[in-house]
A and B are shown apart, each in its own frame.
Chain A
Amino acid sequence: MEITFEHVTHSYDVNSPTANLGLDDVTLKIKNGLFTAIIGQTGSGKSTLVRHINALLKPTSGTITIGDRVITSDTNNKNLKPLRKQIGMVFQFPESQLFEETVEKDIMFGPMNFGATETEAREAARTVIKLVGLDESYLTQSPFDLSGGQMRRVAIAGVLASDPETIILDEPTAGLDPVGRKEIMSLFKDLQVKGKTIILITHNMDDVANYADAMAVIHRGKLIAQGFPKEVFNNQELLKNDLITLPKSAEFAKGLMQQGFHFDKLPITIDELGTEIKHQLNGD
């Protein structure tokens, strides 16, 4: 499903003295089947943006189109279930998503809510718990008796269990140990390769460089750039104004440029950087 934002503005409590625009006239297309990363500073509007996709928030003005579904300021809350079945969302704070007595019930909730039988939902729970790097023994535990990273994994499992077409991830790897982070990012990439649309909010530029096909940059509620990661991270205008941070490889390449190395474009992954360095040192 293609997702488009047309002139979307979202204003949180219009009357407050700090009347803050969560989103300010955003027009954006999120392509079907791609892995799209959304980045931007703390408070820039990323979570606000994605909450419009499954209609948790309604725009103050503008329209959002998800497949054949149109959401505007007067969309009511009825009949949102089909939309929410297609669009799974892992929230920024996973605890806010967990509520059942056991991990198993928690994971089963989604599929059953969308019409799966109990047997199917139980089966789904057993499959997804392993996908997120936990063994089946966790199924009988209370989700509140878990460590921060374990809760995060259960929240992710809960969303995967419903098998949504589009998966929105709001900083899904915050709190995961580095090995777990890599495994889970690869899992999302795999799902995308198999046909899902992935939308990832992250502060980790290396994850953007390593996994995303497209990226969008939000600044004070406005969309200020979008494109291929390689292009966006080489956007001089953004760099000059400190509007983006570089992946580690690009940062390191910048240092090397001062030592006589030359890069037409800053490499953004370790593989790209390694290949370039070898090329320049060995001349092959």
Chain B
Amino acid sequence: MEKIISIANLNYTYPDAKQAAINDLSLDIYKNEWISIVGKNGSGKSTLTKLIDGLIEADSGTISVAGQIINEDNIWEARKKIGIIFQNPDHQFVGATVEDDVAFGLENQGMPREQMVKEIDRALELVKMSDFKKRDPQSLSGGQKQRVAIAGVLATKPQIIIMDESTSMLDPDGRKTVLNLVQQLRKEQDLTIISITHDIEETELSQRIVVLNTGKIVKDGKPVEIYDLGTDLRKYGLEEPFSSKLMSTLRDTVKLPEGYLSEEELEQQLWKLHSNM
């Protein structure tokens, strides 16, 4: 597997802060991977994305993007490969209208006008915001803002997409649609997805979950390995998946296997018990 991002012994402390936000963190992310980054409020997730995108500079340690250690001279090259959807979409809007806003990223790439119009339409269509092209992004509803922010990043066709809680204000169906869209693009266009989320269901889409705590990686594994931690997850501000919570309420009188079961597996178990009655 090809490494697309490689982070080694990274350290960062905000000016005047007592504690490090990122503490000797090392992490390899592979091409075409969907990786979830989870952890408590304040554990360092957004800080890590800002470091990867060169918005803040590490105190020590290195970050390589596509094989190149990033520094002041080549950060612009690296940034072209990375699209970040920030936690608060308001911070991302620069245009007076939705279409201008999406255009901004493309203008930066020096795309010809005609092609740009097509790309804007395509991106807005993908997130179902075409009808809002002429609107001021500030006048949109919370979820609509998030959709436009997503379109802005998709339009630039980055190789790596970092989503910092970028579906937190979408309704359940809308969230599913957007996540499926991202999944499809990942497969078709060989993208790498880094998803920061507090939604345990969203992590089911990923191949790997990394748990951050006080700026350090405390767990790194496949989703089932992480879910298998059970109530230990709470130490890191997380909760058990739905199936585990249901199993805990059933265990006193219903005989169930130990460890984590997915919802489908639990359904099968319950069905077996039901048919044996």
Contact = CB atoms under 8 A, between A and B. Distances in A.
A150 interface: yes
Given A42-B174, A245-B171, A274 B250 contact: yes
Interface stretch (A101-109, A155-163, A169-177): A169-177
Contacts of B242: 248-249, 252, 270
A251 to B, nearest CB: 9
B267 interface: yes
Interface stretch (B39-47, B65-73, B109-117): B39-47
Given A181-B198, A270-B249, A43 B141 contact: yes
A152 B172 CA distance: 21
Contacts of A18: 131-132, 134-135
Nearest to B91: A95
A249 B263 CA distance: 11
B74 interface: no
Given A92-B169, A93-B90, A242-B173, A280 B41 contact: no
Interface residues of B, number: 52
Nearest to A273: B246
Given A178-B237, A203-B170, A203-B171, A148 B141 contact: no
Interface string A256-269: 10011100000000
A196 interface: no
Contact of A178 (B147, B200, B267): B200
Interface stretch (B3-11, B53-61, B221-229, B268-276): B268-276
A150 B237 CA distance: 13
How many interface residues does chain A have, given as a range? 35 or more
Nearest to B264: A255
A41 B144 CA distance: 10
B219 interface: no
Given A43-B143, A242-B173, A179 B237 contact: yes
Contacts of B39: 177
Contact of B41 (A17, A148, A245): A148
A102 to B, nearest CB: 13
Interface string A64-91: 0000000000000000000000000000
Given A148-B46, A171-B169, A42 B147 contact: yes
A62 interface: no
Contacts of B239: 178-179, 182
Given A148-B41, A148-B165, A270-B246, A277 B270 contact: yes
Interface in B76-114: 87-88, 90
Nearest to B140: A43
A147 B41 contact: yes
A145 B142 contact: no
A171 B238 CA distance: 19
Contacts of B187: none
A196 to B, nearest CB: 24
A41 B174 contact: yes
Contacts of A270: 242, 245-246, 249
A47 interface: yes
Interface string B152-172: 000000000000010011111
Given A150-B41, A252-B267, A281-B254, A175 B246 contact: no
B172 A245 contact: yes
A205 interface: yes
A150 B40 CA distance: 10
Given A203-B171, A256-B267, A177 B198 contact: yes
B238 A281 contact: no
Given A147-B46, A171-B142, A174-B168, A278 B254 contact: yes
A155 to B, nearest CB: 12
B135 A175 contact: no
A236 interface: no
Given A148-B88, A255-B267, A281-B254, A179 B277 contact: no
Given A203-B171, A277-B254, A277-B270, A12 B41 contact: no
Query: 6 closest A-B pairs (Cβ-Cβ)?
Result: A149-B41, A42-B143, A274-B249, A177-B237, A178-B239, A259-B271
21 contacts: A18-B135, A40-B171, A41-B143, A147-B42, A147-B45, A148-B41, A150-B42, A174-B168, A179-B234, A179-B239, A252-B242, A252-B246, A256-B267, A270-B242, A270-B246, A271-B249, A274-B250, A278-B254, A280-B274, A281-B253, A281-B274
Interface of B: 14, 17, 39-42, 45-46, 87-88, 90, 131-132, 134-135, 139-144, 147, 165, 168-175, 198, 200, 234, 237-239, 242, 245-246, 249-250, 253-254, 263, 267, 270-271, 273-275, 277
